[in-house]
């Protein structure tokens, strides 16, 4: 397995989508960007993956199935919480890290839904570069800048833990 996939999560994605790509390798590429560019780099990478005509329909199908079938929901959530969440938390500021990661992930998934599912005209027709310019700074702010609100141990409430919890 490790010869072809970096983790069980990547194997799960490949099995569910029928494509051989390694999302964690791509995420690591984005997260290796300078901290000051992490927001735009993440949005750019996310759009590069979603704009790929081979990947997009399969990832959309995964999201639709993961939302309706309980065993797939658990596997998908496990992948999100163990693989993606933890990597984003490593680049986020430590204060309110759980909220920062959730805001980032909800922004990215919301952009995908608006662009590829609901086809909001301005978002669906915008160039990737335009969306990176508009959404990248928001993701940057969520991950690295001051955000209003207090710190809440959300991951502990959900049953997921980070290295910050120990």
The count of domains in the chain is: 1
Q: Could you tell me if residue 160 is inside a domain? A: no
Q: Could you tell me if residue 90 is inside a domain? A: yes
What pLDDT, on the 0 to 100 scale, is given for residue 165?
A: 45
Q: Could you tell me if residue 1 is inside a domain? A: no
Return the higher-pLDDT residue of 67 and 54: 54
What pLDDT, on the 0 to 100 scale, is given for residue 108?
A: 94
Q: Which is it for the CA torsion 40, 41, 44, 50, positive or negative?
A: negative
User: Cβ(135)–Cβ(112) under 8 Å?
Assistant: no
Split at pLDDT 50, 70, 90, the class of 115 is very high
User: Cβ(87)–Cβ(31) under 8 Å?
Assistant: yes
Res. 69: pLDDT tops 70: no
What distance in Å separates the CA atoms of residue 36 and residue 57, rounded to the nearest whole number? 32
Q: Domain range holding 110?
A: 8-148
Q: Could you tell me if residue 86 is inside a domain? A: yes
- Average confidence (pLDDT) over 21-29: 75
What distance in Å separates the CA atoms of residue 151 and residue 148, rounded to the nearest whole number? 10
Q: Could you tell me if residue 2 is inside a domain? A: no
Res. 136: pLDDT tops 90: yes
User: pLDDT tens digit string along 32-44?
Assistant: 999 999 999 999 9
Instruction: Record the pTM.
Output: 0.78
- Select from 37, 15, 153, 41 the least CA-distant residue to 49: 41
Q: Could you tell me if residue 32 is inside a domain? A: yes
User: pLDDT tens digit string along 93-112?
Assistant: 999 999 999 999 999 999 99
Return the higher-pLDDT residue of 46 and 75: 46
């Amino acid at each position: 397995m490790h010869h072809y996939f970096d983790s069980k999560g990547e194997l799960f994605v490949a099995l569910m989508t029928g494509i051989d790509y390694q999302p964690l390798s791509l995420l690591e590429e984005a997260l290796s960007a300078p901290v000051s560019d992490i927001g735009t780099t993440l949005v750019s990478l996310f759009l590069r993956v979603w704009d790929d005509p081979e990947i997009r329909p399969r990832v959309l199908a995964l999201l639709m199935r993961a939302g309706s079938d309980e065993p797939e929901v658990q596997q998908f959530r496990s992948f999100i919480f163990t693989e993606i969440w933890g990597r984003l938390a490593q680049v986020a500021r430590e204060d309110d890290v759980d909220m920062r990661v959730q805001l980032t992930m909800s922004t990215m998934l919301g952009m995908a839904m608006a662009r590829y599912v609901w086809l909001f005209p301005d978002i669906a027709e915008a160039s990737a570069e335009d969306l990176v310019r508009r959404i990248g700074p928001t993701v940057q702010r969520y991950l690295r800048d001051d955000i209003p609100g207090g710190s809440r141990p959300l991951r502990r409430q959900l049953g997921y833990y980070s290295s910050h919890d120990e």
